[in-house]
Structure 1
Amino acid sequence: MDIYDFKNAFFVGVFMSFMIGPVFFMLIKTSILKGARAAIAFDIGVVLGDISFILIAYFGSRSLLEKIKDDPRLFFIGGLVLIVYGVITYLDKSNKKEVDENEIKIPEGNNYLKLILNGFLLNFINIGVLAGWLGIMVVVGPTLDMNPNAIFWYFTIIIIGYICADICKIILAKQLRKKLTPIVIYRLKRAMGVILILFGSIMMLKGFIPKDKLENLMEQVETQTKSQ
């Protein structure tokens, strides 16, 4: 992995952290009501849920990806997953209203074990999160030649980016809560849906580009990025 891959992975982690949903609001609410330590405990549970999804995505798709990693159709599969996830995010009816924080319960007292468990379960029951990680795995895995070491470090950097963004949310919880009006939440979720759809569309278009031309194009982009 080079610096371009690290920057890309870090950005993906930050993006995943700002996907608006129950986990997002629960983290902010916990930080405001119970303090930073409690919010960090909750976030540990969330991250453990994400790691579980990453492992499911990796081991559940590895054999398939190994067989078709040089097949252009792979880009269609990964792109399609991201597009579907983006469309669901964009059309989600809950975008039109603010998440009811009264429906999001947190354990009484600073029981850190319960907070970790709560974070894990709240994240793990969201099948959309699994779809997101699966889409990333399908897209990223073959570009790293399904190298377990490279995939491990790529997703480790994603998790680091995710945690860094969450720490910022914990620190700025009160300010974020004031600014996240229903209309802002609505626009943010739709914007994230559009980004996912665009990224998925780009992945699908790669299926039309011959592999040798694609590799040359990627090398040119990386060279330009490093020279900046």
Structure 2
Amino acid sequence: MNEMLFLAKGMMFGLGISLMLGPLFFFMIQSGIEFGFRKGKYFAIGTWISDLCFILTTYFAFSYIEKWIKNEDSLHQIKPFAGIILIIIGIFSLPFLKLKARENSSKSKWNFLNSNLLLKGFVINTLNPNALLIWFGAAAILLQPKAGIESNNQSSILYYFGIQMMIISTDILKVYFGAKIKHVLTSNHMFYIRIISAMIFLLFGIYLLVSYNSN
């Protein structure tokens, strides 16, 4: 019974993560719109691999990360690096810089696109400063006993399974939704969607740089 409690707790936590608005949320939908479901899902897979790395790191190195996170300077130093990366991604996401790449259509190009989307999902998710805090929070909920209920290997697996099940399910829906509305969008719609997506990355990157310099 306790194990099912951990599964339910994980599913609720995963749903909360999935509904957070940020660069990943919008790019997940854009991937489906621009590349279709079969290709767009590689971006989502990249974020899932990143999540798995965070899960393993925060779970097995909980005590060390707890001390590191409590030191505000540690997380503060990440901001300029993550901000610059997000700005670069935003710049290269602008449609003006992608036109030439679209002229060469081949099987090798599509294979490269799959790898590129997967890597992009992994990098963006990994460099998100909030990601470490989110997964540390997930580990804290699991590892801090409450009301005499302690976690074991089975409950831990069910807890993280619940989180990832919700994240993967909602990510698939985002990409699928994007792919479905693709057919009713004109080239002008696609152009402005790419502009908006790029601007979201740029604004998040600028925000990180400004918040770093203001402290």
What is the CA-CA distance between 1:179 and the residue it aligns to? 1.5
Kindly provide the CA deviation profile for residues 132-153 of structure 1, in whole angstroms up to 9, marking residues without a partner as x: 46x4541112212353443443
| C-alpha distance 167-99 of structure 1, shift in aligned 2 (>3 A) | farther
Is the CA contact 1:85–1:132 (under 8 Å) kept in the aligned structure 2?
A: yes
Is the CA contact 1:89–1:189 (under 8 Å) kept in the aligned structure 2?
A: no
Name 2:24's counterpart in structure 1.
Answer: 16
Name 2:92's counterpart in structure 1.
Answer: 94
What is the CA-CA distance between 1:173 and the residue it aligns to? 0.9
Kindly provide the CA deviation profile for residues 28-85 of structure 1, in whole angstroms up to 9, marking residues without a partner as x: 344xxxxxxxx33324444333322222333355444432326653666556546643
- Equivalent position to 2:199, from 190, 207, 214: 190
* CA–CA separation in structure 2 for the residues paired with 1:2 and 1:53: 18
Name 1:131's counterpart in structure 2.
Answer: 126
- Equivalent position to 1:103, from 101, 104, 124: 101
Q: Which amino acid aligns with 1:5?
A: F
- Using the size of structure 2 for normalisation, the TM-score is 0.58
Gaps of 5+ in 1: 31-38, 109-113, 206-228
Of residues 45-54 and 187-196 in structure 1, the stretch that sits farther from structure 2 once superposed is 187-196
Secondary structure of the structure 2 residue equivalent to 1:156: helix
Name 2:6's counterpart in structure 1.
Answer: none
Name 2:189's counterpart in structure 1.
Answer: 179
- Equivalent position to 1:68, from 48, 65, 79: 65
Kindly provide the CA deviation profile for residues 180-209 of structure 1, in whole angstroms up to 9, marking residues without a partner as x: 335x634443334435747xx6xxx9xxxx
| C-alpha distance 154-122 of structure 1, shift in aligned 2 (>3 A) | same
Secondary structure of the structure 1 residue equivalent to 2:96: coil
**Structure 1 vs Structure 2 CA RMSD:** 4.3
Q: Which amino acid aligns with 1:42?
A: K
* CA–CA separation in structure 1 for the residues paired with 2:93 and 2:41: 26
Q: Does 1:28 align with 2:19?
A: no
| C-alpha distance 6-56 of structure 1, shift in aligned 2 (>3 A) | closer
Is the CA contact 2:46–2:118 (under 8 Å) kept in the aligned structure 1?
A: yes
* CA–CA separation in structure 1 for the residues paired with 2:75 and 2:195: 26
Gaps of 5+ in 2: 1-8, 143-155
Name 1:226's counterpart in structure 2.
Answer: none
Is the CA contact 2:33–2:182 (under 8 Å) kept in the aligned structure 1?
A: yes
- Using the size of structure 1 for normalisation, the TM-score is 0.56
* CA–CA separation in structure 2 for the residues paired with 1:11 and 1:193: 21
| C-alpha distance 56-157 of structure 1, shift in aligned 2 (>3 A) | same
Q: Which amino acid aligns with 1:98?
A: F
What is the CA-CA distance between 1:118 and the residue it aligns to? 5.6
Name 2:136's counterpart in structure 1.
Answer: 142
Q: Which amino acid aligns with 2:44?
A: V
What is the CA-CA distance between 1:170 and the residue it aligns to? 0.3
Name 1:169's counterpart in structure 2.
Answer: 178
Kindly provide the CA deviation profile for residues 143-168 of structure 1, in whole angstroms up to 9, marking residues without a partner as x: 12353443443333222222111111
Q: Percent identity?
A: 8
